[in-house]
Structure 1
Amino acid sequence: MFRVKMEPVHTACALLCLAPWLVRGLPPIWTQPEQVHLSYPGLAGWMEVTWTTFSKTDSTVEYGLLGGRLFDMSARGNSTLFVDSGDEKRQMYIHRVILTDLKPVATYVYHCGSDEGWSDVFYFTALNDSALFSPKFALYGDLGNENPQSLARLQKDTQLGMYDVILHIGDFAYDMHEDNARIGDEFMRQIQSIAAYVPYMTCPGNHESTYNFSNYRNRFSMPGQTEGLWYSWNLGPVHFISLSTEVYFYLDYGLELVFRQFEWLEKDLEEANRLENRAVRPWIITMGHRPMYCSDDDQDDCTTFDSYVSEVQGWLIHSPNDLPNLDLFYRYGVDLELWAHEHTYERLWPVFGDKVYNGSKEQPYVNPKAPVHIITGSAGCRERTDKFNPNPKDWSAFRSTDYGYTRMQVINATHLYLEQVSDDQNGKVIDSLWLPIARLIRQMYIRRCYC
């Protein structure tokens, strides 16, 4: 009979019991990349990769052309420590790497991280830098971590290669700061299946306001030096402008932001509207979270005559004619204004100063005398959809309370197409619009009269 020695067993059990005490106070090692997403820095042949780790690591992207040698190129970047302002003061490292000298329309395979951990393998197609490019977009706002009705369809659309760029027009996760920013982490993981494959371009909404928009400003990487609060970029025949409507409502974070954004915006519009620039990129499209006009039954700012968003732009302008309600976007001939915030979809006739300025009765969108507005804030969140006022203004052309999102293709220098997808109706297109560009003479006339 063999005698079993019990001493090693007793020792092992003792060590197991002591294990929690031995490691107590030591932070876990979290070097695995997650929350991977792309953005377009605004320069031809560039793409920015952003991701998160919870321990400090190097920031490297290894990439290569699809069909070529895998990961035969690499680029290094840097990370910044983001400390959430919640009770736990959770720390995370936001990594940013910019890839340059990309071949237009070429597809690249990549992963990101370091020798301490690599992400899954993703791919993207470098944006075409030609002004003749006909880019395709998905656009929406108000997509939450809970009840994200449009997420699955957007994921599939992206995997089918339907979009070149995503425009998220404010209000993320509901809300990124909650549960000490864990809701933000989970939301960024949710959209990775979209944003790791196409540039995910953003603007801030009211649900990002906590801690001075810190989760938004740290998690996303947009062009310019304003932490994504406002910026502009070009793609195909379009000059895009993203702005913060929230600077008008959260004045405790700095009244100077109102003036800084306006000064930047006016200069940017003036430059974009120069004849030589407008000849190359005739479309000017803006996006901001809170609309100037809406017909929802919720007493939001946009339901009032001369909403604060449009009024602030008016009184900031010092024109020789001293026009109190002058809209800066009207002044510089903006063609299309994209909004969210209202949890509905609404298409407006061309409107300025609460009045309809259709091109004609038969063809309202041909040579309109004012910008066209689209509100698309029904992608799905815990606050559900909104209700409409039963008596809309004359400028309301079409509206729906279905969950859904908008698709847009800038066909060429003269035509643009939009359609609204209903998630409630299994992806049915419930509204569409062909928008011909207004003749440049309209912009020239406006500048001559009001500048």
Structure 2
Amino acid sequence: MKFTLGALAPFLPLVSLFAPAAQAASNDTTPMQIRLAYAGPTGMVVSWNTYAQLSQPTVRYGLSATDLNLTASSNESVTYTTSTTYNNHVKITGLKPNTQYFYQPQNSNSSTPFTFKTSIPAGDSTPYSVRMVVDLGLMGPQGLTTHVGKGAANPLGPNDKNTIQSVLEDDSDYEFLWHPGDIAYADYWLKEEIQGFLPNTTIEGGIEVYESLLNQFYDEMTPITSNKAYMVGPGNHEANCDNGGTTDSAHNITYDVSICMPGQTNFTGFINHFRMPSSESKGFGNFWYSFDHGMTHYVQLDTETDIGHGLVAPDEPGGSEGEDAGPFARRDAQLNWLESDLAAVNRTETPWIVVAGHRPWYVSAKNRSSTLCEDCRHVFEPIFLNYSVDLVLSGHVHVYERNAPVAYTNPDPAELNNPKAPWYITNGAAGHYDGLDDFVLPLQPYSRFATDKVYGWSKLTFHNCTHLTHDFVASANGTVLDTATLYKNRTCAVEAKTPPSSSSSSGSTATSSGAAAATYTGAAGVVESSLEAVMGLAMLVVAYVSLV
């Protein structure tokens, strides 16, 4: 079925309920949904949306809030068939690295300029932290809230902060926000209507509902993304429609991908909305790219299409979910790019290599045959091992699980004390309307800490070239439920800072706490002394009381 805006006329009284932003707009060229992305160490892309197309999107910027004496422009004001807005993108180049700038997109109604800081240049050993969320959807009123529809699960508690609030209100400084896939979950509109969470429209009217949910999410993110680089990657919900179909049991109807609108198929909205540093890293669009930041080389991969070796990714034609999405490049393009990218890393300047892809292959999930990306493992894991990747991050499964470093399904005997294998962490617990997933017990042998009852986000802290800490932060109250530090035995090009107090130069530590009924420790979990075990139990009780 082909949908056109004209076909929506009979449904406008219904769909207008879902477009409060459009009704409140005072000027069709007023910027909204402002977001940033690194464009190399001396560049930044400023993006924003407007209801009207701009002939020449322009940004004023400068080193002082009172003197925005420089301008940058582009001709990128783009949209797609069913979108209610235009996406405007301006790349600013020639900036000073690690420097704060003030800026305003054209026609801004804000009296105070926004700010951004360019990336820390490679070779700079200044300690820093970043935030990561995966599988993050709209947070109330028409997304995850204190109640959910019939068949959904895990509503927020009445006093809980959601993940967007938690990241925004966290008072510790960080460099950027990384979101490797499943952004907004606007494609859940039909499921939410069937479950009674949203008022029923029509299939044709779903176009406006989808766009409204998407715009609400980006509006919610603006307080973060207008001041911090927002680095994203593709997930299945950027290309599918309720995972390829939704069943309305009451009416005995199962919908398939024929109901999907242009904004949901083939990553159309994702392609239009973002501009990642693929040109700077010889990657491909928003799908695979890399960038350096201080002592770390970051790699974003696409686990949804273009896997390589002729393997069909889950969202490619013929894939498991049936969407028409990709491939986007020649055979093995991503795989060849990854090899070249990692081979070119200067480990003296950027000793850490951190990779993110949406789908995991090491996780204690249900339906492992359909959940895990085994093809990804077969293609990517040998390259990760060959180039000594330090950390691999993923989501897709809506749980948090910290694993040991793993090579070909086997835990590295060194654990976090100078392992040869990459360290794998899955955190798809940022939160969305449908709630969290469940683990299958017992956990996999490589699992070290896991929770399937807590929404949360990841904090990565790079202390120096030898110590990297990962924290899982509960969004509800900011409690750190799990922390672990990876140690790598290497010589820093610049004298290392004092290691974190929880670690020693000859080893690593990992501690965990959380709701008593919501956390699990793997069979080969972290060995603690008797005193540490007692302290851990105390932390567990405190965390449980604070969460309930």
TM range, normalised to the smaller chain?
A: 0.7 to 0.9
Counterpart residue number, 2:103: 110
The structure number with the bigger radius of gyration is: 1
Match for 1:262: what amino acid? L
The code of the aligned residue for 1:341 comes to H
The answer for the alignment partner of 1:52 in structure 2 is: 49
The equivalences for 1:107-256 within 5 A come to 107-114=100-107, 118=109, 121-131=113-123, 132-145=125-138, 146-147=143-144, 149-157=162-170, 160=171, 162-175=173-186, 179-180=206-207, 181-209=211-239, 210-225=264-279, 226-247=284-305, 248-252=313-317, 253-255=325-327
Counterpart mapping for 1:259-408 below 5 A: 259-272=332-345, 277-299=346-368, 301-302=370-371, 307-311=374-378, 313=379, 327-359=382-414, 364-401=415-452, 402-408=454-460
Q: CA deviation at 1:56?
A: 1.8
Unmatched runs of 5 consecutive residues or more in structure 1: 1-27, 315-325, 441-451
How far residue 296 of structure 1 moved from its aligned partner, in angstroms, is: 2.0
> Would the alpha carbon gap of residues 421 and 328 (structure 1) be closer, same or farther in structure 2, given more than 3 Å must change?
same
TM-score (norm. length: structure 2): 0.66
Contact persistence 2:59–2:104 (CA under 8 A): yes
Q: Which has the higher strand share?
A: 1
3-state DSSP class of the match of 1:279?
coil
Contact 2:234 2:302 in 1 (8 A): yes
Q: Which of the numbers 68, 89, 100 marks the counterpart of 1:96?
A: 89
TM-score w.r.t. the length of structure 1 is 0.79
Tell me how far apart the structure 2 counterparts of residues 130 and 327 of structure 1 sit (CA, whole Å): 26
Q: Secondary structure at the match of 1:83?
A: coil
Are the aligned partners of 1:289 and 1:339 in contact in 2 as well (CA < 8 Å)? yes
- CA change 1:193–1:255 in 2 (3 A) is closer
Alignment: residue pair count: 380
C-alpha displacement at 1:150, in angstroms? 0.6
What is the deviation of 1:29? 6.4
1:434–1:90 CA distance, 2 compared to 1 (3 A): closer
CA RMSD of aligned residues (A): 2.2
Q: Is the 8 A contact 1:112 1:118 kept in 2?
A: no
8 Å contact kept, 2:233–2:288: yes
Q: Quickly say closer, same or farther: Cα 1:367–1:29, change in 2 above 3 A.
A: closer
SS in 1 for 2:45: strand
Whether the 8 Å contact between 1:367 and 1:439 is mirrored in structure 2 is no
Q: Is the 8 A contact 2:78 2:88 kept in 1?
A: no
Whichever residue aligns with residue 140 of structure 1, its letter is V
- 2:478 maps to a residue whose letter is G
**d(CA) in 2 for partners of 1:338, 1:151:** 19
Residue number in structure 2 paired with 1:11: none
Matches of 2:99 and 2:421, distance apart in 1: 38
Letter in 1 for 2:266: N
Distance 1:36 1:350 in 2: 37
Taking only the aligned residue pairs, the percentage that are identical comes to: 31
C-alpha distance in 1 between matches for 2:97 and 2:83? 39
